[in-house]
Amino acid sequence: MDLNSPEAIRKVDSANMMGALLSFPDYVRTAYGLPRPLLDIPRPAGIAVLGMGGSAIGGDLLSSCLLEKNGPPVLVNRDYELPSHVGPKTLVFAVSYSGNTEETLAAFDEAKKRGCNIVTISSGGFLAQRNDPARHVPLPGGLQPRAAVGLMLLPMIGVLEDLGVADFRSEVDETVRLLTEMTRELGPSSPAAENPAKAVALGLLGAFPMIFSGPFLAPVAKRWRTQLNENSKLLAREDVIPEMDHNDLVAWSEDPMAARCSVVLLRDLREHPRIAKRMELTRRLGLDRARHVAEVRSRGTGTLPRLLSALIVGDFASFYLAVLRGADPSPVKVIERLKRELAG
């Protein structure tokens, strides 16, 4: 499949996933400007984000955003039940693009019983119906949930900004400018020789993808893995340095399977000097046995642009890898079947 052929891409992309990828900067701008609840509450002692899949990734990104801003700790709850420490002093974001995710609805009901301050974010569904309309953020509909990560993340950032937890205004402007530039660089009209996402996809083709990062970009590594799962229809794996140096590196140095793997190293411009040293040593002492190793570096200065600039390359790369494999990136038939059988 020719990645430089718009016609070949359109033939595979039945639901216009590429259109959603190119609109990512607009989703960030739109979501930040959506009307949001004005909460008359003290600064939260903790934050819990209830969500699954593409709806939960926003919580992971939020956690990394707040780490550098001395924000409260963020729990991302991917479960029907809540930990015992979630209570009235916790600000809860219940996030489900469809509004019908059963795990999120169950956790929302439990949070309501415990007297938590809850903001719901969805494009409709039962979640919107169960919460006070004044504490609900309605999202534009019509997207795959994984394509709406910007729409689901920015309202949470806006609510926290209004509470005085952190100031993201300049970061949002920087992010929109940067993502707008990057969609041109990563889009289908940019030839493979000049397009980092197409180059990554070609390096991953026919291999088992491994995505490694430092702690700050760990949510982005998870996002890369899940996009390869859903868009490219591939098994993939992610891990975090320095933890992987304490176990995984042994397998890389000795397992013949290493030669069947291709690696993407996600590098942050502000990564700890020891993380940078570990990245270089890990690449030389183990990852040199991989079929292919690529590096993707974050861009920008603020936490939000650095996260989303690394994330968007993975979104485009997973799309192009789907095209190379002749797979339509949008359908997730087995997930829909699972939901039907659970409902039955």
| SS3 letters across the chain | CCCCCHHHHHHHCCCCHHHHHHCHHHHHHHHHHCCCCCCCCCCCCEEEEECCCHHHHHHHHHHHHHHCCCCCCEEEECCCCCCCCCCCCEEEEEECCCCCCHHHHHHHHHHHHCCCEEEEEECCHHHHHHCCHHHEEECCCCCCHHHHHHHHHHHHHHHHHHCCCCCCHHHHHHHHHHHHHHHHHHCCCCCHHHCHHHHHHHHHCCCEEEEEECCCCHHHHHHHHHHHHHCCCCCCEEEECCHHHHCHHHHHHHCHHHHHEEEEEEECCCCCHHHHHHHHHHHHHCHHHCCEEEEEECCCCCHHHHHHHHHHHHHHHHHHHHHHCCCCCCCCHHHHHHHHHHHC
* pLDDT tens over the chain, length 344 residues: 789 888 889 999 999 999 999 999 999 999 999 999 999 999 999 999 999 999 999 999 999 999 989 999 999 999 999 999 999 999 999 999 999 999 999 999 999 999 999 999 999 999 999 999 999 999 999 999 999 999 999 999 999 999 999 999 999 999 999 999 999 999 999 999 999 999 999 999 999 999 999 999 999 999 999 999 999 999 999 999 999 999 999 999 999 999 999 999 999 999 999 999 999 999 999 999 999 999 999 999 999 999 999 999 999 999 999 999 999 999 999 999 999 999 98
Task: List the catalytic residue out of 7, 113, 194, 246.
Answer: 246
User: Is 103 a residue of the active site?
Assistant: no
Q: How far is CA 153 from the centre of its chain?
A: 9
Q: What is the pTM of this model?
A: 0.97
Phi-psi category of 212—alpha, beta or left, where left has phi over 0 and alpha has psi -120 to 50? beta
Rg (CA), the chain: 20
Between CA 135 and CA 120 the distance in angstroms is 7
Spell out a b/e string for 293-317, using b for 16 or more CB atoms within 10 Å of the CB, else e.
bbebbbbbebbbbbbbbbbbbbbbb
Amino acid present at 90 = T
From the CB of residue 105, how many other CB atoms can be counted at a distance below 10 Å? 19
Amino acid present at 230 = E
Q: What are the residues facing 185 on neighbouring strands?
A: none
Between CA 66 and CA 62 the distance in angstroms is 6
What is the structure's pLDDT at 344? 85
Q: Hunting for tokens 């926290």 — which residue is that?
A: 160
**For the chain, which domains are there?**
15-171 (3.40.50.10490), 174-324 (3.40.50.10490)
Task: List the catalytic residue out of 89, 112, 292, 339.
Answer: 339
What is the structure's pLDDT at 274? 98
Give yes or no for a contact between 194 and 291, defined as CB atoms under 8 angstroms apart: no
What is the structure's pLDDT at 290? 98
Task: List the catalytic residue out of 103, 110, 174, 230.
Answer: 230
Side-by-side strand order, sheet with 46-50: 74-77, 46-50, 90-95, 117-122, 136-138
Tokens (6 digits) for 77 = 């709850």
Between CA 27 and CA 20 the distance in angstroms is 9
User: Is 246 a residue of the active site?
Assistant: yes
Between CA 201 and CA 192 the distance in angstroms is 10
Between CA 27 and CA 227 the distance in angstroms is 18
What is the structure's pLDDT at 150? 97
What is the structure's pLDDT at 5? 86
